[in-house]
A = this chain, B = another copy of it.
Amino acid sequence: MAPKLYAIVVGAGPGTGRASAVRFSKSYPVVVIARNSSSYEAAVKDVTESGGRAIGISADASDPASLDQAFEYISQELPDHKLAAAIYNVSGGYAVKSFVEIKPEELEESLDGNVRGFFHFAQRTLPLLEDAVPHSEHPPTLVVTGATASVRGSAKFATFALGKWAKRGIAQSLAREYGPKGVHVAHAVIDGVIDIPRTSTLYVNGGVSDGKISAISIAETYWSLHTQHRSGFTWEVDIRPYVEKW
């Protein structure tokens, strides 16, 4: 009997994480992880209402012990399941400020969300993804959410940029190491404001319709990355509204 498969989304708050959970739940049960249950509860609800199965777990990806507990729990809840897709969508807070005003703890906060969290999450998920290669219809996939700041260090965005650049560097290294094993690692440069409640009052792109990125459209692109044949992997996509200046 073919093993069952599942997907995992860390950073499952409103926006990309939640939409990805819903999209991937059409094919897999989905584990949604966030530091606080309030962040993933809506994702669990959305998945459930659309007929899928979601398991919410409170965990901090930058804390190895916390991540260990999460995977322990997953193995109990989803015995005999293999990991078909993992999405790292932790944003890592940022503040726009002059470089000399950045506090060491803000530097560490960016490193937690973008570097340590991704590092530990990738160390735990990649062996699981590799293990699923012979069993998964689609190549097991690790998708990493990046930002404009992954490829551009703007003035007064140093903390944001350092985390995003580092995360992209790790992801590219992983794509090269794990591609030949059949695991697809892909990075997405999200270049625009995502259309979520928190951004509803932001006035961008002249306020035109679809001037903010639909999280559902990101999730569709993530799914299309996951379903690429292994003879034609994409390492990186950029995603932006049709009206975005770039």
Chain A residues with a Cβ under 8 A of chain B: 64, 98-100, 102, 104, 107, 111, 115-116, 119-120, 122-123, 126-127, 139, 149, 152-158, 161-180, 182, 184, 195, 210-214, 216-218, 220-221, 224, 227-244, 246
Contacts and interface: CB of A to CB of B under 8 A. Distances in A.
Contacts of A122: 99
B99 A123 contact: yes
Contacts of A238: 234-236
A27 to B, nearest CB: 16
A152 B172 contact: yes
Contacts of A166: 115, 162-163, 165-166, 169
Given A99-B123, A234-B239, 5 more contacts: A153-B173, A154-B173, A184-B242, A210-B231, A231-B241
A154 to B, nearest CB: 6
B237 A237 contact: yes
Given A166-B166, A184-B242, A99 B173 contact: yes
A217 B228 contact: yes
Given A115-B107, A165-B165, A234-B238, A243 B171 contact: no
Contact of A157 (B153, B165, B173, B224): B173
Nearest to A229: B217
A205 to B, nearest CB: 9
Contacts of A224: 221, 224
B233 A177 contact: no
15 contacts: A99-B178, A119-B162, A156-B173, A158-B174, A164-B169, A182-B242, A211-B231, A220-B227, A220-B228, A221-B232, A232-B239, A235-B240, A235-B246, A236-B238, A237-B237
Given A217-B228, A221-B228, A100 B115 contact: no
A113 B142 CA distance: 28
A173 B158 contact: yes
A240 B230 contact: no
A229 B210 contact: yes
A153 B169 contact: yes
Contact of A170 (B161, B168, B174, B231): B161
Contacts of A179: 242-244
